[in-house]
Amino acid sequence: MTDRRLTVEVPAGAAGSRADRFVADASGLSRAYVQRLIAEGRLTADGNPMRARDPVTPGAHLELEIPAAAAEPVHLPEQIPLRIVYEDADLVIVDKPAGLVTHPAPGHETGTLVNALLAMDAEDGGGLGTIAGVDRPGIVHRLDRDTSGLLMVARTDAAQVSLQAQLKARRIHKRYLALVAGAVAAQVGRIEAPIGRDPRHRQRMAVTADGKPSTTGYRVRERFAGWTLLELELITGRTHQIRVHLASIGHPVAGDPVYATGPARRGPDGLERLFLHAWRLELVSPSDSGLIRAEAPLPDELESVLARLRSAQEVRA
């Protein structure tokens, strides 16, 4: 594989912006990674080297050299069934089942969504984006292992840059369904609380004073005795954000083994997994700027839990 070059023309509205921040926003790459590339001399403006703190000039053509990933993939294709909800030349949207890890990590080197995607690519030759490296081919965002639902996968580097930029600019709308413990008082609400590493349990996240700004919107879909079904909009995308935010207001997600306790951790009768599902995605096509909307209904194992709760409500009535 060869190095890639990303070229961006600076618009008038970006005058004076720091080079590292502008390039990170334009490319969808993390600012820390962009700063490292700039420190290696990989960013130029009209052929002249730039520093991270240099201001950009309207009309200038910035070129960022992105080094190639490892020459050969280190992960093998695996025939793992995937439900494809949407696909075109730019991207694939899959309905990830609960229990499937998004990408390889220590303890989960095989049996991941990435392994399944590599097998799919080998069959149809559709390609996968390479910007995130060989560990995450085409991966734009992730879902927790125990969360089911919609996940975007880029087929080209250009699509991956576009989708990452849309995520960073909060132009991709992600909606979830969650069953939570207790009776949520407000019909519509918004949780704004910073999220960072839990200082007492470093493997967990928590609402912390020095955390990153985080916002989750919600509305009540259905009420049951002791439980509430919520539709949530993930406005920012922090690790475990929905689970942490809901637990912080006293309504943890049913079946959450990390952030819930007691009856909430067990969930209602019949629940055997986390009741959290990414059910809708809205984004702009990387190629033609058209609106793409994808939906995935609740899995049967979650619908059956709601059916039990509805039946119990009818009996009480």
Mean pLDDT for 140-155 is 94
d(CA 150, CA 136): 17
Domain boundaries in the chain? 4-66, 83-167, 173-279+300-316
Give the count of alpha carbons within 13 A of 244, CB side only: 26
- Under the banding of pLDDT at 50, 70 and 90, the label for residue 2 is low
Check whether domain 4-66 has CATH 3.10.290.10, yes or no: yes
* Mean model confidence pLDDT for the chain: 90
Query: Within 13 Å and on the Cβ side, how many CA atoms surround 261?
Result: 3
pLDDT at 165 over 70: yes
For residues 301-316, give the mean pLDDT: 92
Alpha-carbon 21 to chain mean position = 21
Domain 173-279+300-316: top CATH class: alpha beta
Position 3 pLDDT exceeds 80: no
What positions carry a catalytic annotation? 144
**Homologous superfamily of 83-167 in CATH?**
Pseudouridine synthase (3.30.2350.10)
Q: Tally Cβ neighbours within 10 Å of residue 313.
A: 13
Which strand (E) or helix (H) includes residue 63?
strand 61-66
Same topology between domain 4-66 and domain 173-279+300-316: no
Write the pLDDT tens digit of every residue in 178-224: 999 999 999 999 999 999 999 888 889 999 999 999 999 999 999 99
Interval 59-109: pLDDT, tens = 999 999 988 754 444 677 889 899 999 999 999 999 999 999 988 776 777
Whole-angstrom distance, CA of residue 275 vs CA of residue 265: 10
pLDDT at 127: 81
